Amino acid sequence: MKDTKRTILTGVKPTGIPHVGNLFGAIRPAIELGADYLFIADYHALTTVKDAKTMRGLVKELACAWLACGLDPKRTVFYKQSDVSEIFEIFTIVQNITPKGELDRSHAYKAAMDEGQSINMGLYNYPILMSADILAFDTTHVPVGKDQEQHLENAKHIARAFNAIYGQTFTVPESLIEKSVATIPGLDGRKMSKSYGNQIPLFAPANELKKHIMRITTDSSLPSEPKPTDHVLFQLYSLFATKQETDTMAKRFLVGIGWGDVKKELYEVANRELTPMREKFDYYMANYAEVEKILSEGAGRARKKAQATLERVKIAVGI
């Protein structure tokens, strides 16, 4: 009925062109983990995106970005959530065993309430849809950030509750929370985040990348003075440079180096790494039909699996 091997699945909401923090904090780790299923959570984005053109643009950028960052669609089934209608049938079924109280306690919903936002049912039901995303694929492991841990608990509870009522049907998933992934600092030293506007965009042209790096906050210490290696410039440098380059830079920080020189060298290693990714991104953006073909093949593979699960679920409930 279900296989015993690991099945890794994760979803990404289309929320804008990723930045350097997303690359090292989320995209690279997910690709390196070798996810079996990776999808664009476009129906989830409907809770906030209310404009068709914006939605299409965000989905396109996200799909091109992941492929440019090295997602291999042969290894990973890459699809749009909206193309797999079985997920929404499973969502409808499992709603009936989801206690309302559990959704009332959801952090995301409570935070929106506290901010005085008007709550739509999409936001309220978000954890049920996310559970359906996961349960449709007999997922065993879900790599997510800490903020998604509660949603994973919801998915586990729903799977267990269903199995308790109808007999073993769903695989109970586990979250994979990567503790070793560091928080990447942004231009001002705080966590790099769209919400702070301190991000380095991944696919900006070389001259813009340079401009961003030049804007990184430094102090007025002299070039001859030692510099702290917990500075954002050093941290970013070590992400892009080789181990040997990083060791050399550490020594130079110790004896003293001009901030301007560090910025120039950071630009060089960052541009070296980002240039091929930028070229791929531009290629996919200009040849989006190829990406659509990849997504549609992914949807075909995803649906085969989700159909089998749905069939099992319908038999279990007697429909």
Taking the C-alpha atoms of residue 116 and residue 43, their distance in angstroms, rounded to an integer, is 23
21 interacts with ligand ADP by CB under 6 A:
yes
Residue 44 binds ligand TRP (CB under 6 A): yes
**Contact residue for ligand TRP among 69, 90, 94, 130 (CB under 6 A):** 130
The radius of gyration of the chain from alpha carbons, rounded to an integer in Å, stands at 22
Please list every residue from 133 through 192 that binds ligand TRP, using CB under 6 A.
133-134, 142, 144, 148, 151
What does 22 bind: ligand ADP, ligand TRP, none (CB cut-off 5 to 8 Å by kind)? ligand ADP
Question: Quick one: 148 or 171, whose CB is closer to ligand ADP?
Answer: 148
Of 54, 96, 117, 183, the one binding ligand ADP (CB under 6 A) is: 183
The whole-angstrom separation of Cα 28 and Cα 44 is 22
Restricting to residues 1-20, name those near ligand TRP by CB under 6 A. 10-11, 13
How is residue 233 annotated by DSSP? Answer: H
Residue 260 contacts residue 284 (beta carbons within 8 Å): no
Which among ligand TRP, ligand ADP, none contacts residue 239 (Cβ within 5 to 8 A by kind)? none
Contacts of 166 by beta carbon, 8 Å cutoff, 6+ apart: 316, 317
Kindly identify the residues of this chain, within the stretch 194-233, that bind ligand ADP according to CB under 6 A.
194-195
Whether 31 and 178 have beta carbons less than 8 Å apart is answered as no
Q: Are 273 and 56 in contact (CB under 8 A)?
A: no
> CA-CA distance, 21 to 99, in Å (whole number)?
36
> What one-letter code names the amino acid at 166?
Y
Choose between 3 and 230: whose C-beta lies nearer to ligand ADP: 230
Structure tokens at 56: 């299409």
28 binds ligand ADP (CB under 6 A): no
CB nearer to ligand TRP: pick between 130 and 236: 130
Other CB atoms within 10 A of residue 209 CB = 22
Return the residue of 58, 123, 184, 236 that touches ligand ADP, per CB under 6 A. Answer: 184
**Cβ–Cβ < 8 Å for 198, 190:** yes
In the bound complex, what is the minimum distance in angstroms from residue 209's beta carbon to ligand ADP? 17
Query: Which CB, 14 or 186, lies closer to ligand TRP?
Result: 14
Question: Which C-beta is closer to ligand TRP: that of 11 or that of 186?
Answer: 11
Q: Which residues pair with 175 in a beta bridge?
A: 142
Q: How far is CA 65 from the centre of its chain?
A: 11
Binding site for ligand ADP (CB under 6 A): 15, 21-22, 25-26, 145, 183-184, 191-195
Instruction: Give residues in contact with ligand TRP (CB under 6 A).
Output: 10-11, 13, 41, 44, 130, 133-134, 142, 144, 148, 151
